[in-house]
Amino acid sequence: MSFAKKIFSALGPFVLAVVILVIILFSPTKIGNTVSSDTLEKAATSMSINVIKGNIIKNEAMQSEKYVPFFGSSELSRIDSFHPSVLAQKYHRNYRPFLLGAAGTQSLSQFSMLSSMGSELKGKKAVFVISPQWFVKKGIKKEMFSLYFSPLQTYQWLLNLKQVDKNASYYAERLLTFSSVNQDTSLKTMMEQVKNGEELTESQKDECALKLNIFSREDDLFGRLGLISKQNEIRKSMKALPTTYNFDKLDMLAYAQGKKLANNNPYELNNSFYSKRIEPIENSLKNSQADYDYRYSKEFADFQLVLDEFAKLKMDVLFVIPPVNGKWSDYTGLSQEMLDQFATKIKTQLNDQGFNNVADLHQYKDSKYFMNDTIHLGWRGWLTLDKQINPFLSQKAKTTPQYTIKSYYLSKEWQMKNPETLTSNSDN
């Protein structure tokens, strides 16, 4: 065999594979078939990063009448017999939660997902869990933002941008504070233009369309990989539930499960969580949260982006404010007065703009077995929330919600507003 043939024999398959991959990435047409119902079912509870950063699976799910988006973060991953996914499946409800979030996802990530779904969500319902812990002074951590940053959704947002308004300028300004955006020089340039109120040129829109196509083909190829479904956990958790829904009986069961599974510590934390995460460093955590303050944060403005998008899509949304475990906050020194004021501030932002479906659970901080751990809903917490989720999602809305979006809630003045000075919902 000649030397040239040896080289071709060795490198030919690799070169051919690269050529095929390049052709696929630059192809203007979608690859493969639609997402199967089996894949959608797995993805609905997987909370996979592919689903969060991609479009193909979540957007296909939102096209159906079956799935309802549940936006949140780590709390959605705590599966027990009373988790919304378990109750919906066990009692054959006319909806299935599609969990959109993971540990570290906050308002900016949720806005990116929302805007990427657009028409698929128009006029639909959703559940949005607001974690007080998001509202630290600087908002989302850079590492967490980078983990969930989606170039696909960002170029899509730029290409679909019809008007550079205050929300768009604010979003661009926020994205420019993260290295994962700035390292893409053309994306950085476009974001700086939007930040300054300038529209993209036609050549920049062409560039966005090209990159959106490439990232979409990547999503076609790899979006289905790595789905780790929680369906087995859900089916296992369903077995403990009675055949017929009865709140009082279920509450007794939730109490019993909590009592059994949270009995090795004085805080009523899940035993496994306490043993692995708390017990080894317990002494160092005493009074460790005395200085925490969720009342002043960039997150309030980031959250406003989400509200603006919900309003544009005319969505009917149930917002959830979970409590912090009272026994744990007493130990760590986390101020309940501060948490009360946080709840007042975020409800003001919601109610003042017409978002009136709010499940404020923060007063349940001392209810036994309400929480799974320090900050995540558990047995009786999920069941209590179900009293609002089920009727909200099972019944069709009688009217289209009316929202009045106010750009004031993007301002630094609102971010730093002392909740004690709020005298009414119109105090702005």
Average pLDDT over residues 344-363: 97
Percent of the residues in the chain that have a pLDDT greater than 90, as a whole number: 85
For residues 249-260, b (16+ Cβ closer than 10 Å) or e, as one string? ebbebbbebbee
Beta-strand ranges (E) seen in 38-92 are 67-71
**400/200: higher pLDDT:** 200
Give the bridge partners for 317, in sequence order: 126
pLDDT of residue 425: 47
Q: What is the 3-state secondary structure (H, E, C) of 278-298?
A: HHHHHHHHCCCCCCCCCCCCC
pLDDT of residue 33: 60
> Nearest-CA neighbor of 264 among 254, 253, 273, 252?
273
Q: Tell me: the pLDDT tens digits for 62-113?
A: 998 899 999 999 999 989 999 999 999 999 999 999 999 999 999 999 999 9
| Cα dist from 359 to 102, 261, 318, 345, whole Å | 21, 26, 7, 15
Give the domain ranges of the chain.
37-424
Q: Tell me: the pLDDT tens digits for 17-43?
A: 655 556 555 666 666 667 899 999 999
Q: Tell me: the pLDDT tens digits for 131-168?
A: 999 999 999 999 999 999 999 999 999 999 989 999 99
